[in-house]
Amino acid sequence: MSTVFETQGRRDNSASPLGQASITGVTITPVAFADPPLLNTVGVHEPYALRAIVQLHTDAGVTGLGETYGDAAHLARLRMAANAVTGADPFNINDLRARVARALAADSTQGGHGMSGMVTGSSTADRVLSPFDVAALDIQGKLLGLPVSALLGGAVRDAVPFSGYLFYKWAGHPGLADDEWGAALDPEGIVAQARRMVDAYGFTALKLKGGVFEPDAEAAAIEALRAEFPDLPLRIDPNAAWTVETSIRIGRRLEGILEYLEDPTPGIGGMAEVRRRVRLPLATNMCVVSFNDLPPAVTGGAVDVVLSDHHFWGGLRRSQTLAGIAETFGLGLSMHSNSHLGISLAAMVHLASATPNLDYACDTHWPWKRADEDIVLPGALAFRNGAVTVPAAPGLGVELDPEALDRLHRQYLASGITERDDTGYMRRIQPGYELKSPRW
């Protein structure tokens, strides 16, 4: 079952503690949007990226919005959770969390990460809770007349800086026309892509998705970026494609050039070893992806910076807990992204604005999305000098475009894609393609 899912008509919270509202129904709509052939260490992005749009309807006349992964197994879990939260109080996020946990207790299905094998150990319960937490906060803000940033404790910055997220890529998907970005397969291509992205968005930091070519070729791309952009902080993220030895060698080559080295090698033990032997901060969204990972990472001295991501850390409230832990243990905080639409961007901006110790420009895949394709009405979210102004309107401050939602849902049905599968797509193009971690 992959079409729109709806619950409706029940009210089982006899009294909302705050007397504000009851969730009377949930609509979950899978959507697909165009995605260029972005290369990474597990393969290549398919022509469409998937998302699920979650709407929480209430008896108070407002609807809350959430956005999450659109993989089939995740959709099935979202539906279980939707049944469980129907009737609940959107002001009681602890109750929503308990309901989601109870609904998933009997679930034994595997897969559905939506991250093509790159983030494997995150908590299923937190991934499923996330869009419900975001939508509940959107409802709260709309009913109280406050932006979500205010509900999270207040914005400490008016605009949230993002990094330009560079990818090696083909000129276009095989069999389809070239896209507007063209190919980027060497240092010159990456520098040209960066120049174009910086000119269009004003980004003040750059991240290169690595793990695609020989490590020295990728280090050369970073050096070419440094020559072209002497003042911009630079990062590279090979998604654990390098051995400990390769990470040390390339890390030493890039000392003094990178602001951080992200997930060079797999596992907390490997990262700790690299960190001891390279004078660079190490960042991760692979070896610390759930609360369980924090104690061994901290005691093992594995990382300096954790990339938060409310989509797998359990929503905005749980991400604030992560920020508190990071502060306590002296870890830096940055933000991870996957291909996403406007509800996710709005949620990321509110969270980042209300997180004082978010020390780095956040990741976003936003430039890779077609400018005319989204499920929110245009206007609320815009980049200036590489940053997005925090929406001041109540809730998330974005409005759903029902026609666009319907169009992208039909695109989802027509695409035939039900799982993100970068490796499977790569193998259809290059049949002998091997998956390896570490690769070099």
Among 209, 318, 369, 409, binds ligand GLR (CB under 6 A): 209
285 forms part of the interface with Mg ion (CB under 5 A): yes
Q: How far is the CB of 363 from ligand GLR (least distance, A)?
A: 6
- Determine the interface stretch with Mg ion among 55-63, 166-174, 282-290, 430-438 (rule: CB under 5 A): 282-290
Rg (CA), the chain: 21
Query: How many Cβ atoms are within 10 Å of 374's Cβ, its own excluded?
Result: 23
- The side-by-side arrangement of strands in the sheet containing 383-384 is 159-161, 387-389, 383-384
The distance of closest approach from Cβ of residue 21 to ligand GLR in the complex, given in angstroms and rounded to an integer, is 35
Q: Judged by CB under 6 A, which of 22, 29, 40, 204 binds ligand GLR?
A: 40
Cα(216)–Cα(218) distance, integer angstroms: 5
Contact window for ligand GLR (CB under 6 A) among 175-183, 223-231, 333-341, 382-390: 333-341
Query: Closest separation between CB of residue 292 and ligand GLR, Å?
Result: 19
- Measured from the CB atom, the residue of 22 and 239 that comes closer to ligand GLR is 239
In the block, which residue shows the tokens 């243990």? 329
340 is catalytic: no
CB-CB contact of 21 with 401 (8 Å) = no
Nearest in space to 75 (alpha carbons), one of 40, 33, 118, 32: 32
Q: What phi and psi, each to the nearest 5 degrees, are found at residue 376?
A: -110, 150
3-state SS, 2-58, equals CCCEEEECCCCCCCCCCCCCCEEEEEEEEEEEECCCEEECCEECCCEEEEEEEEEEE
Closest to ligand GLR by CB, 236 vs 388, is 236
Tokens of 88: 């609940």
Closest CA relative to residue 205, chosen from 184, 229, 187: 229
Nearest residue to 350 (alpha-carbon basis) of 134, 94, 92, 53: 134
Residue of 124, 239, 364, 415 that binds ligand GLR (CB under 6 A): 239
Applying CB under 5 A, among 67, 126, 138, 237 the residue interacting with Mg ion is 237
Residue reference for tokens 């995150």: 122
The option from Mg ion, ligand GLR, none interacting with 35 (CB < 5 to 8 A, set by class) reads none
Of 11-19, 26-34, 335-343, 370-378, the window that binds ligand GLR (rule: CB under 6 A) is 335-343
State yes or no: residue 118 binds ligand GLR (CB under 6 A): yes
Q: Contacting ligand GLR (CB under 6 A), which of 133, 237, 273, 293? A: 237
Q: Which of 336, 350, 369, 409 is catalytic?
A: 336
**305: β partners:** 283, 332
Give catalytic status of residue 209 as yes or no.
Answer: yes
DSSP bridge pairs for 39: 44
What's the min distance (Å) between Cβ of 124 and ligand GLR? Answer: 18
CB of 47 or CB of 64, closer to ligand GLR: 47
Q: What is the DSSP string of 46-102?
A: -SEEEEEEEEEEETTS-EEEEEEE--HHHHHHHHHHHHHHTT--TT-HHHHHHHHHH
Distance, first Cα to last Cα, the chain: 40
Q: Which of residues 258-277 bind Mg ion (CB under 5 A)?
A: 262
Q: Judged by CB, which is closer to Mg ion: 218, or 237?
A: 237
Cβ nearer to ligand GLR, comparing 264 with 394:
264
How many residues line the site for ligand GLR (CB under 6 A)? 13
Segment lying near ligand GLR (by CB under 6 A), choices 90-98, 122-130, 336-344, 371-379: 336-344
Among the options 207, 209, 369, 409, which is catalytic? 209
- Residues in the interface with Mg ion (CB under 5 A) total 3
Q: Report the distance separating Cα 196 and Cα 247, nearest Å.
A: 29
38 binds, among ligand GLR, Mg ion, none (CB under 5 to 8 A by kind): ligand GLR
Query: Which residues, including other chains, have CB under 8 Å from residue 402's CB and lie 6 or more apart?
Result: none
Residue 340 near ligand GLR by CB under 6 A: no
In the bound complex, what is the minimum distance in angstroms from residue 211's beta carbon to Mg ion? 10
Supply 142's token pair: 């709309």
Residues that bind Mg ion (CB under 5 A): 237, 262, 285
Residues identified as active-site: 209, 336
Residues that bind ligand GLR (CB under 6 A): 38, 40, 115, 118, 209, 237, 239, 285, 336-339, 363
